[in-house]
């Protein structure tokens, strides 16, 4: 499946910049800053990306973020990520930036965004379009998330900031906290996405739907525990032929991530095939590709290993453009590009 998927032009919608930092680049950055967290070798950086559970992953993500100390560190991370996306034939990506962590580090947002924007603009005419999702950290609370929303509203006039999201620990930061914030974000024209059902149960997904009204949910893994929730998502789904409802609720599915964080014990337990057969609106993503030693092409191999057919995988890839936060004319252009380069099995 991987060689076939590699040829398709693709959209990557659930992708954290900080989690894309490969160990070699992390070591380069750490060494430049005097190894502030003890990452004084490539082996130490590689060992950081081995964890036993979701809490261990969050700690590793925190450590990576603590090494991004100046705008050039972020620019270097984006430079490497862009090269990798082009290698995978990704033509459009919405990159999640942990603005909440920037504030936690007491690091100025403006110089970082200016550096990232300079890198993004340098990619013009290189067949890779990037947009930004500003992410708040659930467990940091509402006041911290308010700062992220303010940044998103300011920067969307200066950069392609398309959405706001929340990540982190669902248990320590329930969705209900952010109801008012999400309502204001929507009223101001921002798209809405939220991690949910990753390290907390189906009730966390229900809360997210009830209080935040997201267009996309990151993971939604634990929906598998609640047949009523699956039926609800299917009613707002896409079917197996991509004939989505007027306002679908998309799930951003990240199989390798779920296994590496031990939210699932093994790939064979992943509910992707069940969700697909139920008609949920699904996209495929790599989440934190360097930290999980994966990429989007490999995720299609995982989908095939779980039993999805080549035509299923093709539709899953096409869904990336259907679910993207794009203006409709741009979406149509990307879909035409995809269809021209990935004909259906029937020969279309």
- For the residues 143-167, what does the mean pLDDT come to? 97
Inter-residue contact 314 to 344 (CB < 8 Å): yes
- Please provide residue 167's backbone torsions phi and psi, each rounded to the nearest 5 degrees: -130, -165
295 has pLDDT over 60: yes
- Please provide residue 66's backbone torsions phi and psi, each rounded to the nearest 5 degrees: -65, -15
Rg from Cα positions in the chain: 19
pLDDT in tens, 21-42: 999 999 999 999 998 888 999 9
Inter-residue contact 316 to 283 (CB < 8 Å): yes
Q: Which of 75, 22, 70, 65 is nearest to 46 (CA)?
A: 22
242 has pLDDT over 90: no
Extract the tokens encoding 198.
Answer: 């990753």
Inter-residue contact 281 to 251 (CB < 8 Å): yes
What residues act catalytically? 198
Q: Which of 89, 81, 78, 157 is nearest to 119 (CA)?
A: 78
Q: Which of 129-138, 211-220, 246-255, 312-321 has the lowest mean pLDDT?
A: 246-255
pLDDT in tens, 106-139: 999 999 999 999 999 988 778 899 999 999 999 9
Q: Taking the C-alpha atoms of 10, 167, 75 and 186 in order, what is their torsion angle to the nearest 10 degrees?
A: 70
Outline where the chain has alpha helix (H): 2-7, 23-32, 42-48, 54-67, 71-87, 99-104, 109-122, 142-155, 179-187, 202-212, 227-235, 255-260, 272-278, 289-292, 296-305, 310-323, 328-341
49 has pLDDT over 90: yes
| Residues across the chain | 348
pLDDT in tens, 90-104: 999 999 999 999 999
First to last CA, the chain: 20
Q: pLDDT higher for 183 or 345? A: 183
pLDDT in tens, 196-219: 999 899 999 999 999 999 999 999
Q: Which of 296, 323, 307, 300 is nearest to 242 (CA)?
A: 323
CA–CA dist 197, 200 (Å, integer): 5
Extract the tokens encoding 117.
Answer: 């924007």
Domains parsed from the chain with CATH numbers: 2-341 (3.20.20.140)
Q: Average model confidence (pLDDT) for the chain?
A: 93
């Amino acid at each position: 499946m991987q060689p076939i998927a590699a040829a398709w032009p693709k959209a990557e919608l659930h992708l954290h910049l900080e989690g894309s930092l490969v160990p070699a680049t992390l070591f380069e950055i750490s060494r430049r800053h005097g190894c502030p967290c003890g990452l004084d070798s490539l082996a130490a950086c590689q060992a950081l990306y081995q964890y036993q559970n979701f809490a261990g992953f969050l700690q590793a993500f925190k450590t990576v973020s603590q090494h991004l100390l100046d705008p050039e560190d972020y620019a270097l991370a984006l430079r490497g990520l862009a090269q990798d996306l082009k290698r995978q034939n990704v033509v459009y990506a919405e990159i999640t930036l942990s603005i909440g962590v920037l504030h936690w580090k007491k690091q100025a947002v403006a110089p970082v965004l200016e550096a990232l924007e300079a890198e993004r603009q340098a990619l013009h005419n290189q067949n890779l379009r990037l947009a930004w999702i500003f992410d708040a950290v659930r467990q940091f609370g509402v006041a911290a998330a308010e700062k992220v929303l303010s940044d998103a509203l300011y920067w969307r006039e200066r950069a392609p900031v398309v959405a706001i999201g929340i990540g982190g620990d669902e248990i320590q930061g329930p969705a209900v906290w952010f109801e008012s914030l999400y309502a204001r974000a929507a009223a101001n024209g921002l798209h809405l996405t939220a991690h949910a059902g990753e390290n907390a149960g189906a009730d966390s997904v229900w809360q997210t739907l009830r209080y935040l009204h997201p267009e996309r949910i990151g993971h939604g893994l634990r929906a598998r525990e609640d047949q009523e929730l699956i039926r609800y998502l299917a009613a707002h789904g896409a079917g197996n032929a991509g004939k989505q409802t007027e306002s679908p609720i998309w799930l951003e599915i990240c199989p390798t991530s779920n296994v590496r964080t031990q939210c699932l014990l093994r790939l064979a337990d992943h509910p992707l095939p069940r969700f697909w057969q139920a008609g949920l609106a699904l996209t495929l993503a790599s989440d934190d590709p360097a930290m999980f030693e994966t990429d989007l092409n490999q995720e299609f191999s995982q989908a095939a290993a779980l039993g999805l057919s080549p035509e299923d995988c093709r539709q899953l890839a096409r869904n990336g453009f259907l679910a993207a936060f794009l203006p409709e004319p741009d979406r149509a252009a990307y879909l035409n590009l995809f269809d021209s380069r990935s004909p259906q099995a029937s020969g279309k």
